[in-house]
Structure 1
Amino acid sequence: MQKQPIGLYQYFIKVVPTMYSDVSGHTIQSNQFSVTEHYKGADIGLLDSVTGVFFFYDLSPIKVTFTEQHVSFLHFLTNVCAIVGGVFTVAGIIDSCIYHGHNAMKRKMVIGKIS
């Protein structure tokens, strides 16, 4: 049997109330939680060292609500148009940089700065 180290174990537990709602109207009341563990070793033989296991609970006063919703076809179509427009804009910027860079190189070759 392995001997456990002596020390101070602290567990900080945060709990957030949560409600999940789906499209059909079903709701589930639940909680989200996170745990952080801290350990501080104690020197054997010292009476000043505090040892033990401590739990600290932090209950959140704010409730998180997740609601599932369907988006309309018009919203989908708007997103597609925004993506296509963004692609054309970036392609135009790249094309313009290449065109002007090529023309600048041609001009320098004509005046003899680049051989």
Structure 2
Amino acid sequence: MSSGESGMPGIFFQYELSPLMVKFTEKERSFGHFITNLCAIIGGVYTVAGLIDSLLFHSIKLIQKKMELGKLH
């Protein structure tokens, strides 16, 4: 056996890590890009709020209908 071997069967990996350089560049975006992102966020919030409102409305209607039929304890 050579040095560093334990005699255990298996696959062993040895990594040699080298330093990496991260280059960060900041790019200014236009006002139009800002407005587009803002409209997308507002539209998404409006859509999710509409889905939640619809879910609550239909759930309440279903519960009221069951209460009228006497199926809800």
Taking structure 1 as the reference length, what is the TM-score of the superposition? 0.45
* Structure 1 residue runs without a partner (length 5+): 1-56
* Structure 2 residue runs without a partner (length 5+): 1-15
Deviation at 1:110, TM superposition (A): 1.2
Equivalent position to 2:18, from 59, 70, 75: 59
Q: Distance in 1 between matches of 2:25 and 2:18?
A: 22
1:74 aligns with 2:51: no
1:113 aligns with 2:57: no
Q: Which residue of 1 aligns with 2:46?
A: 88
4+ long deviations beyond 4 Å = none
More strand by share: 1
Q: Which residue of 2 aligns with 1:101?
A: 59
3-state SS of the aligned residue for 2:23?
A: strand
More helix by share: 2
Q: Distance in 2 between matches of 1:75 and 1:87?
A: 19
Q: Which amino acid aligns with 2:52?
A: I
What CA RMSD, in Å, does the superposition of the two structures yield over aligned residues?
A: 1.8
